[in-house]
Amino acid sequence: MAKSTTGRSRFKLQRALGLELPGLGKSGALDRRPYGPGVHGNRRKKISDYAVRMKEKQKLVYHYAIREKQLVNYVKSAKRDRSRAWMDTLLINLERRLTNVLFRLNWAPSMLAASQMVSHGQVLVNGKKVDRASFLLTKGDVISLTDKGYNNQLFKQGLESPRMSGVPACYNVEGTDKKKATLVEYPLPSDVPFEYNGQLVTEYYWKVK
């Protein structure tokens, strides 16, 4: 599991990026102070092209609650797939991560909460327990929870106060209780729930093979 952060530092991360990242949980990071953290956070600063690209890839790291090394491995894997632009493959794979699926279904209030549910063995894929946050779902996979998972306060909080306004079309959620879902199609890059510049991420990782 990626290293946890406090509520305060999650807000600081988003203020530094100038963007709210849904995966970090609670909203409102930019409501009162829509500028960077620190005494000089509201001063206009000139940043380098490298820093601009780095901030763009940091959005992926922070939202999906992964480490830099993990993201590099995803980039390498995406570049080996010649079926589409590697940046699109990267985003599709990040969206297929088990923790992200829980979050996008509003079964967890944040990506870290989803990771906790997975690591505690409360998530089922096709009826079998999966305890790896990095597990990638494929088309036709059915996701559900154990009884303990359905009784988890994180699951209840996710449904009662959903962080996301809706569930992407690639999921078919069954029943009025929303306790089972099927990945019917692969997610699209457009399903990523925040603004990003894929070209800048591509330029940042152009040397990675």
pLDDT at 105: 97
pLDDT at 202: 96
pLDDT at 79: 97
Q: Which residues of 80-116 are buried (b: 16+ CB within 10 A; e: fewer)?
A: eeeeeebbbbbbbbbbbbbbbbbbbbbbbbbbbbbbb
Structure tokens at 161: 């106060």
pLDDT at 43: 57
pLDDT at 158: 93
Q: Which residues share a beta bridge with 142?
A: 182
pLDDT at 20: 86
pLDDT at 39: 41
> Taking the model in full, what pTM does it have?
0.86
Give the C-alpha distances (Å, rounded to integers) separating 64 from 1, 40, 169, 179, 186.
Answer: 11, 28, 20, 23, 17
Per-10-residue mean pLDDT of the chain, 209 residues long, equals 53 79 74 52 69 94 95 97 96 97 96 96 98 97 97 95 92 90 96 94 94
**Contacts with 107 (C-beta within 8 Å, 6 or more apart), sequence order:** 114, 117, 145, 155, 158, 159
pLDDT at 176: 80
Nearest to 106 by CA among 178, 28, 14: 178
Sketch out the chain's domains with CATH numbers: 7-93+190-204 (1.10.1050.10), 97-185 (3.10.290.10)
